[in-house]
Chain A
Amino acid sequence: MTRIGLAHRVQTFALGTLAALLLTFLVIPMGCLMLGTSWGEFSAGLRHPLASPALKLSLWTSALALVIVVSLGTPLAWLLALRRGRVSQLVETLVVLPVVIPPAVAGLALLLAFGKRGPFSNWFSPEGGSLALTTSAVVLAEVFVSSAFFLQAALAAFRRIDASLLIVARSLGASPFQIFFRVAIPLAGPGLVGGAILCFARALGEFGATLMFAGNLQGKTQTLPLAIYTAMESDLRAAQALSILLLAVALALFFGVRFSERRSHTSLEGHR
């Protein structure tokens, strides 16, 4: 064996060791969560009175949040992708900011904005209304924390579109609406779907902002993560079963992302 060949092997091994360390650390907790619960305990946990209303609420509020984010976020990402000026850079930073804000802080901010003492209080009712502690607050909290995940993916997908295709469309007399709906969205489609799945997953896992802004009432504002936390106060087994349920949904979503990513690559190849 040559010296260079040996050095390459050693270096590859070193990189592999570092990678394996992180991989092991990430896999072990999830493995323990699942292996530490028997099937009987899991199904008993799912029959826990907290489980079913929380799962239903989580699924439909996250779905509604997703619809809001996609219908408002797609035009925003498209406009940002078209422009490269300073203003659009500033806007881009602003819309991804919720990713770094701690969710509890986001919840407090939402409470101050849409609560009884907020600037819009008089809009909801003459004597001072509030969106806080309602199911609407759950959806708003989910939109706030999850939109950035969709926007980032959508921006990347729109920017990957070959600019010459847009020029051709324009020269053939396509209107901005036609370019947006018939050229940009179909070409960025798989990327948009991937972003939507990430957004849904983040909305499903949302905890801190919901607790602060929407409260914790079964069937109204108690989502799955809040139910897990509530169960932890009295019944750790139930909390564990609910956690596995959330993990299972997240895993399904993850495979959805991988699938749409693969389609995105093949579709891009196809256009070249």
Chain B
Amino acid sequence: MKTVARRKFGALSLAPLLGGWIGCDAPNTEHLERELIVFAASSLREVFTELSHRFTAQHPEVRVAFNFAGTGELKAQLEHSTSGDVFAGADRGHTEALVRAGICQGLVVFARNEPCMIVPLEPRSPLTNFLELPNATRIVVGAPEVPIGRYTDQILERANKVLGHEFQSRVLVKVVSRELNVKQVLAKVSLGEADAGVVYRTDALLAQNRVRILNIPAEFNVFAEYTLATLTKAKNPTLARDWVALIRSRAGQSLFARFGFLPPTETKP
């Protein structure tokens, strides 16, 4: 009995910390009848916003409310709250853990994203390809705790094996910050504070007027898998399934392609 109470207390203890973020994108629901609450990774913000217009065209009585944050943050929020109908994450492992915990169900991979290197447009960067990354003076990448940072570390390890010459450590000594999400990496390169960074292609495409995209060779690159799952305690399970169906439809998939996402494949590259 004591341990149960303690565990409950432990869960409660984080709720106040997390509550602040859950409210961030909270909508008002004055005259609207139904609301679909989507928890989604930050990198899906633009494409999901576009998708919500199509969804409300099909369901005029529904309002789609988003909670955009890092995938790890969203996972913690879902573990400590009762909100949400659908969860779209950028890290398969987190979604699998939520399914095991009985919080989510029906995991599907709906898109993939490819990390790429970015350099500022102004002033023109002397770097022309990924192999020159160690020549940068100030590099900004994701923190190892967040998906983009983990993928970056994997890419550097792979490159190190093929290229040798301490490629990985020569890059890591130039790293001046390990940011907590992709948008922060993008911001620092866009403002010229860093002269190279690694972000998802979809984020880089949205900032093409400020950064130049340099491809990471396929032999080193790894892919982020985006997974969808519905919440077992969804207040609107039917709407949640409709949202998943729209994403997996041909129209939905072509929208994802337009934003630079890659189609899902079951075999890992």
Residues of chain A whose beta carbon lies under 8 Å from any beta carbon of chain B? 29, 32-33, 35-38, 111, 115-117, 128, 130, 132-134, 211-212, 214-218, 220-221, 229-234, 236, 240, 243
- Pairs of residues from A and B, 10 with the lowest C-beta to C-beta distance, nearest first: A215-B177, A36-B13, A29-B16, A32-B13, A233-B145, A233-B72, A36-B10, A234-B145, A116-B192, A133-B176
- Taken together as a complex, chains A and B put the C-alpha atoms of A240 and B17 apart, in Å, by 10
Q: Which of B183-200 contact A (CB under 8 A)?
A: 184, 187-188, 191-194
Complex contact B70–A217 (CB within 8 A) = no
Chain B residues lying within 8 Å of A240, measured Cβ to Cβ, are 13-14
Complex contact A117–B14 (CB within 8 A) = no
Chain B residues lying within 8 Å of A215, measured Cβ to Cβ, are 140, 176-179, 188
With an 8 A cutoff between CB atoms, is B26 at the interface?
no
Partner of A234 from the list B9, B11, B72, B193 (CB cut-off 8 Å) is B72
Chain A residues lying within 8 Å of B14, measured Cβ to Cβ, are 36, 236, 240
Chain A: minimal CB distance from B196 (Å): 13
Complex contact A133–B9 (CB within 8 A) = no
Residues of chain B whose beta carbon lies under 8 Å from any beta carbon of chain A? 6, 9-17, 70, 72-73, 76, 123, 138, 140, 143, 145-146, 175-180, 184, 187-188, 191-194
Chain B: minimal CB distance from A226 (Å): 8
Chain B: minimal CB distance from A101 (Å): 18
Complex contact A232–B73 (CB within 8 A) = yes
Complex contact B178–A216 (CB within 8 A) = yes
Chain B residues lying within 8 Å of A236, measured Cβ to Cβ, are 14, 76
Closest to B18 in A: A232
Complex contact B6–A216 (CB within 8 A) = no
Complex contact A133–B180 (CB within 8 A) = no
Complex contact A115–B12 (CB within 8 A) = no
Complex contact A217–B176 (CB within 8 A) = yes
Complex contact B13–A230 (CB within 8 A) = no
- Taken together as a complex, chains A and B put the C-alpha atoms of A61 and B10 apart, in Å, by 32
Complex contact B180–A35 (CB within 8 A) = no
Chain A residues lying within 8 Å of B6, measured Cβ to Cβ, are 36, 38
Complex contact A116–B146 (CB within 8 A) = no
- Taken together as a complex, chains A and B put the C-alpha atoms of A230 and B73 apart, in Å, by 10
Chain B: minimal CB distance from A75 (Å): 33
